[in-house]
Amino acid sequence: MRRFEAGPRKGALLGLLMLGVVLLLALAAAGCGGDDEGSGSGDGSIWVLLPDSASSDRWEKDDRRFFEEAFKAADVDYNIVNAEGDASTQLSQAEQAINADAKVILLVNLSSESGATIIDNAREADVKVVDYDRLTAAGSGADVYVSFDNVKVGQTMADTVGPVIDKLRVDKPKIVMMNGGLTDNNSKLFKQGYNETGAFAVKKKADAGQWQVVADQDVPDWDNQQALTLFEQILVAQKNNVDAVFAANDGIAGSVISALQSAGVGRIPVSGQDATAPGIQNVLAGRQTMTVYKPIKAEADAAAAAGIALLNGDDVKELTGDFKVITINNGEADLPYIALTPIAVTKANIADTVIADGFRTWEEICTGAYEKFCPADR
């Protein structure tokens, strides 16, 4: 099974000619900031289209470096760009990739609609597309989808935070759901996980009369500043009487925690996702109950393997690794789905998960006011 082999050379002269063309066209496309280019075998390139750097710091701090490592190890040409939250910029970047003789695009869409346009344009040019982390839930569908089981991500929040809520000395805890952006299909799946799936699903507990949902709020574009404003409004409406929050990621959780502190509200159960450095700091400090760790290196490696398989003309269904290859329907078509499993991180297992994996370090976590929360024997 192929995982990270570069494609076969087509002869020295042809390889040099193709490499020259790719480099010239890539230089012409370099008008977008934040590009990272790597030169490899010259047998066609892989472009990675990242969404932004505001919704989560993972895209630039983690995904970019892991893709660079994977493609360099495979000796393939690559280019990594970031649309910084602008769908029209991402569409232009996709067009640049096609014009630069890209053979594969790894896409983190900004919406299913804009993603579908990119996929259709790529298909017309015989360019393969990997939906990375976010499913394009419209149009003809990508060639493969690589992500964590996103319903399971949400259920992991509920399964971890739910028992903590049930231990509160409150007759009927008041629950707030701070969901992700409506244009991101993943946010719908996360909510499906914590609201509808498992023994501690919010809807199940509310229907049983055990919990009361006082707010169900979507956060436009996962914007942390908007999350802060929206949650402050919820606190005012509830007269600060909120007992737990399902926050869809660490950025939103950080906004919730900031609002709680400003309002003088004590610590309450709060979920999160992405195992960001600030998220882990809040977990250590006891301000955030948990975060969902999605080993991003494993996800990026799986996507890189899928991209390289498509570059080489191999069947992505034959890839093997620490994931399942199943099928998912994007609303119009079935496509292969490389599904990875998320992990709940609490204060008790930080050392055994994100630290042990090298995803986070004590040095980046144990800074300033957070030093006192860190283990002495680290």
> Could you read off the pLDDT of 354-370 as tens digits, one per residue?
999 999 999 999 999 99
Least confident of 37-41, 192-196, 242-246, 330-334: 37-41
Same domain, 225 and 121: no
Whether residue 178 sits in one domain with residue 72: no
Neighbours of 89 (CB within 10 A): 18
| Three-class DSSP labels, 327-359 | EEECCCCEEEEEEECCEEECHHHCHHHHHCCCC
Cβ-based neighbour number of residue 73 at 10 Å: 13
CA-to-CA separations, 59 to 20, 212, 331, 376, 377, in angstroms, rounded: 29, 35, 26, 31, 31
> Are residue 19 and residue 50 in the same domain, yes or no?
yes
**In this predicted model, what pLDDT tens digit does every residue of 156-190 receive, in sequence order?**
999 999 999 999 999 999 999 999 999 888 899 99
Does 261 lie in the same domain as 237? yes
Q: What is the spatial distance between Cα 99 and Cα 29, in angstroms, rounded to a whole number?
A: 9
Domain with residue 355: its CATH number is 3.40.50.2300
Residues with Cβ within 8 Å of residue 13, at least 6 apart in sequence: none
Closest CA to 244 of 153, 181, 167, 152: 167
Residue 247 lies in a domain: yes
User: How big is the CA angle at 346 (ends 341 and 348), to the nearest 5 degrees?
Assistant: 120
> In this model, does residue 52 exceed pLDDT 60?
yes
pLDDT band at 34 (very low <50, low <70, confident <90, very high): low
Asked whether residue 162 is domain-assigned, the answer is: yes
**Domains of the chain: total:** 2
* Same domain (yes/no): 91, 169: no
Q: In this structure, is residue 6 part of a structural domain?
A: no
DSSP 3-state of 311: helix
In a domain, 221, yes or no: yes
Neighbour count for residue 325 (Cβ, 10 Å): 18
Q: Does 7 map to a domain? A: no
Domain that holds residue 303: 12-142+295-339
The CA-atom distances, in angstroms, between 378 and each of 276, 284, 350, 351, 374 are 19, 13, 11, 9, 8
- 16 has a pLDDT exceeding 60: no
Distance CA 294, CA 341 (A): 7
- Long-range Cβ contacts of 86-89 (<8 Å, 24+ apart): 86/110, 87/111, 87/114, 89/32
SS (H, E, C) 186-240: HHHHHHHHHHHCCCCCHHHHHHCCCCEEEEEEECHHHCHHHHHHHHHHHHHHCCC
Is residue 131 in some structural domain? yes
Q: Is 132 helix (H, G, I), strand (E, B) or coil?
A: strand
Average pLDDT taken over every residue of the chain: 90
Residue 12 has a pLDDT of: 41
Residues 327 and 251 in one domain: no
Residue 283 placed within a domain = yes
Q: In terms of domains, do 180 and 237 share one?
A: yes
pLDDT band at 38 (very low <50, low <70, confident <90, very high): low
362-366 contacts at long range (C-beta below 8 A, 24 or more positions apart): 364/277, 365/277, 365/280, 365/281, 365/284
Q: How far is CA 151 from CA 90, 167, 183, 194, in A?
A: 27, 25, 17, 8
| pLDDT score of 344 | 98
Asked if residue 238 and residue 126 are part of one domain, the reply reads: no
Are 245 and 364 found together in one domain?
A: yes
Distances (CA, A) of 179 to 129, 287, 307: 28, 19, 31
- 260 plus 359 within the same structural domain: yes
Tell me what percent of the chain is helix, strand and coil, each rounded to the nearest 5: 45, 20, 35
The reply to whether 190 falls in a domain is: yes
Token pair listed for 376? 């002495």
Q: Are residues 114 and 32 in the same domain?
A: yes
225, exposed or middle or buried, with CB in 10 Å at 0-12, 13-18, 19+?
exposed
User: pLDDT tier at 10 (50, 70, 90 boundaries)?
Assistant: very low
- Tell me the residue type at 251: G
pLDDT at 29 over 70: no
Q: What is the pLDDT of residue 55?
A: 84
DSSP structure class, residue 8: P
- Token readout for 326 is 């199943």
Say yes or no to pLDDT of 132 above 50: yes
The pLDDT, as a whole number, for residue 37 is: 67
Structural element, H or E, at residue 107: strand 102-107
Are residues 305 and 268 both part of a single domain?
no
Handedness of CA 184, 186, 191, 196 (dihedral sign): positive
